[in-house]
Structure 1
Amino acid sequence: MVCFCFLVDQTRKVRQSKPAAGICSRCGGGASVADMKTCTRFCYVPFYWKTWRAIICTFCGAMLRSYQ
């Protein structure tokens, strides 16, 4: 019996962001609206990516809300 193990990982990157009104409920820092890109790789080859918008904290980096 042969068993193969493949490496699958997922990365999130902020493509661009701009300031938004409001504060973070966790640390009290400012909020910003960011265009995010999620890339899923299988054996180091990207095979799926998705772009979406989220509100993130500028101080601690927590995701406060996401919009699909």
Structure 2
Amino acid sequence: MVCFCFLINQKRKVRQTKPVAGTCSRCGRGAQVADMETSTTFCRIPIHSTSWKAIICSTCGALLKSYR
């Protein structure tokens, strides 16, 4: 028996941000700590959601560090 499983969609969403001391290592601008949410859908049905914190750049949007 063979079962195929396809990942349809995985989205990252920023829920809330706060400024943090420090700068981005890529562009040199300010950084923010953000409450992030990742949601995975399979055949348009949400099956998994995860909340975590990350430090992101406020200008270029680069993910500098994540805390799961």
Quick check: TM above 0.5?
yes
Residues 25-52 of structure 1: per-residue CA shift (max 9 Å, x gap): 0001100000000000001111000000
TM-score (structure 1 length as normaliser): 0.89
Identity rate of aligned residues, in percent?
63
Structure 1 distance, partners of 2:30, 2:7, is 36
Distance in structure 2 (CA, Å) of the matches to 1:5 and 1:14: 27
Structure 1: segments with no counterpart, 5+ residues: none
State whether residues 17 and 32 of structure 1, in contact with CA within 8 Å, keep that contact through their aligned partners in structure 2: yes
Residues 8-30 of structure 1 show CA distances to partners (whole Å, capped at 9, x for unaligned) of: 11000000000000000000110
The 3-state SS of whatever aligns with 2:31 is strand
Q: Please list, as runs of the form range in 1=range in 2, the aligned pairs for 1:15-54 lying within 5 A after superposition.
A: 15-54=15-54
Query: In the comparison of the two structures, how many residue pairs are matched?
Result: 65
In the TM superposition, structure 1's runs of 4+ consecutive aligned residues that sit over 4 Å from their partners are 4-7
Secondary structure of 2:33's aligned partner: strand
Relative to structure 1, the CA distance from residue 59 to residue 42 in structure 2 (aligned partners, 3 Å threshold; closer, same or farther) is same
Structure 2 length normalisation: TM-score?
0.89
C-alpha RMSD of the superposition: 1.4
